[in-house]
Amino acid sequence: MSLAMKLQKLRTERGQSLQVVADAVGASKAHIWELEKGTTKNPSIELLKNLAEHFGVTIASLVGEDPSDAEDEQMVVMYRDLQKLNIEDRQFIEAMIETMKKRGGKATDAD
């Protein structure tokens, strides 16, 4: 889930207005709205800290980097499996992922 979607979800689940969130984190209402709409990128780490604290979540969860928040359960299982591997195997898998990203994640005839 993107930062924009996560922020909007957290805010609406708590029944808070954009202004309430903005006041709580020291930002403008317009800036929070832009974050929720995804029209502004790369918020400061200070703002992310304040948002995470306000909503009672981790920064990792807020920005979609917490494996336990994964919408796809298989991703969580894969993360747990990766933790069990030794460093060399993790590096091998990391290299495989980098190769796949370079080719655009597209399936080939060999797949």
Residues 54 and 98 in one domain: no
CATH of the domain at 7: 1.10.260.40
Q: What is the DSSP letter of 86?
A: -
Q: Would you state the pLDDT for residue 63? A: 85
- The structural domain count of the chain equals 2
Per-residue pLDDT tens digits for 78-91: 887 888 899 999 99
Domain that holds residue 61: 3-66
Answer whether residue 79 is part of any domain.
yes
Give 76 or 39, the one with higher predicted confidence.
39
Q: Whole-angstrom Cα distance, residue 101 to residue 12?
A: 35
Per-residue pLDDT tens digits for 2-47: 889 999 999 999 999 999 999 999 999 999 999 999 998 789 999 9
**Beta carbons within 10 angstroms of residue 35's beta carbon:** 23
Copy the structure tokens of residue 65.
Answer: 């980097």
Q: Which segments of 2-86 does DSSP mark as H helices, in order?
A: 3-13, 18-25, 29-37, 45-55, 59-62, 73-83
Assess whether pLDDT exceeds 50 at residue 100. Answer: yes
Burial class (CB in 10 A: 0-12, 13-18, 19+), 86: exposed
Per-residue pLDDT tens digits for 39-69: 987 899 999 999 999 999 989 888 877 776 6
Phi/psi for 44 (5° steps) reads: -65, 155
Residues 61 and 7 in one domain: yes
